[in-house]
A and B are shown apart, each in its own frame.
Chain A
């Protein structure tokens, strides 16, 4: 447990020192939100209806930037080899990195919500359910994303490989998070919010445990 805390502290500190990059990723997400509205046209009703989808697509696209970046430091001067020698164990390293990535993505999601509200007139007063969906959805992105970032960081063509591997995998996250966010924004007369959030939670449980189990093999072998 203490190994996890130390690993998490290291990763959060790394992110804090590289906070300019987080601002750049936010700007990327906001730019994506702006561009999506050009694809649909100035139809305010249609934009409001698709606002949740645009928010999560922007978040998904931005996530590949921040996830890929998260392993850059570990490869510099082969820092990862030193980390693996520590008594913390690879599982602590994985969960530390995944929680740090999750924090960053959740913050990004929260920061993109006002942009969505302003651009698409998609406001809501149910902020707590919206926050819960953002937390669950970004956890679902960062759990497999962290593992794949560890792999692709050392491969050629890593910019193309990470989305190639991650996007098909997180289709359930995208579907469930978009549906749930839509229900929060546009109203939920049929009470469908719970099954979608359950699906998100299930995805997170499966991937958080499976990726934690397999991470050791990815960084130790080869």
Chain B
């Protein structure tokens, strides 16, 4: 594929993704039958479950980017890491909010210390700290290595957090997949899952392009007049 046609791919993915999410949500809201026990509240599942899958996917992709950057040192992985991390944090935050909205009428409380809920909250904090680290590290080389290292460590930590919280306290529903729910619920679930997938991959591609532009600006040699006036670089380790 030529670079020119690739330029259109990301916005196209965003548009298709947004359209699919609208279609899937409309189907879930108006066409699908209400669930027997939970009634209308259950309809939030059509966004909640796909959000959970995609948050996991985005963060796994970020982990892959971190490993790829540490192994190859190719800057494109750093740009993608930045984009995927931000997307993973946004999706995980949305997941927590949707969960709280669903939990209030169903469990009677906004929040519960259930393993998956608590692990998601810890994951938001652990991964959300990495963009903060990037914001405060000014040297591009350091920033890239630090965030890749922090990402690898945070990812290795997630299973330990899950098991520790599981032993500590256990109330969440069993995971919903197309196999565990009635076929009447399949289509909106699947359409939304792919809609959110296209949406975030498109947005991540656009965001990575933005990171690449910023990196080019940061690492560009200063104009000759400025270079003569500039003081030597400080503290490089």
Contact = CB atoms under 8 A, between A and B. Distances in A.
Interface of A: 75, 78, 80-81, 84, 144, 147-148, 151-152, 154-158, 161, 164-165, 167-169, 171-172, 175-176, 179, 195-196, 199, 202-203, 206-207, 210-211, 214, 217-222
B164 A175 contact: yes
Interface of B is mostly: helix
B25 to A, nearest CB: 31
A167 B125 contact: yes
Contacts of A217: 70, 145, 149
A139 B149 CA distance: 20
B157 A169 contact: yes
Contact of A147 (B126, B137, B153): B153
B126 A169 contact: yes
Contacts of B130: 165
Interface in B104-160: 122-123, 125-126, 129-130, 132-133, 136-139, 141-146, 149-150, 152-154, 156-157, 160
Given A175-B164, A195-B167, A165 B145 contact: no
B161 A222 contact: no
B137 A155 contact: yes
B37 interface: no
B168 A164 contact: no
Contacts of B29: none
Contacts of B164: 171-172, 175-176, 199
Given A147-B149, A218-B149, A221-B145, A155 B160 contact: no
B237 interface: yes
Interface residues of B, number: 36
B227 interface: no
A80 to B, nearest CB: 6
A167 B128 CA distance: 12
Interface of B: 70, 122-123, 125-126, 129-130, 132-133, 136-139, 141-146, 149-150, 152-154, 156-157, 160-161, 163-165, 167-168, 235-237
Given A169-B153, A179-B168, A222 B235 contact: no
B200 to A, nearest CB: 22
Given A171-B161, A210-B156, A222-B145, A164 B132 contact: yes
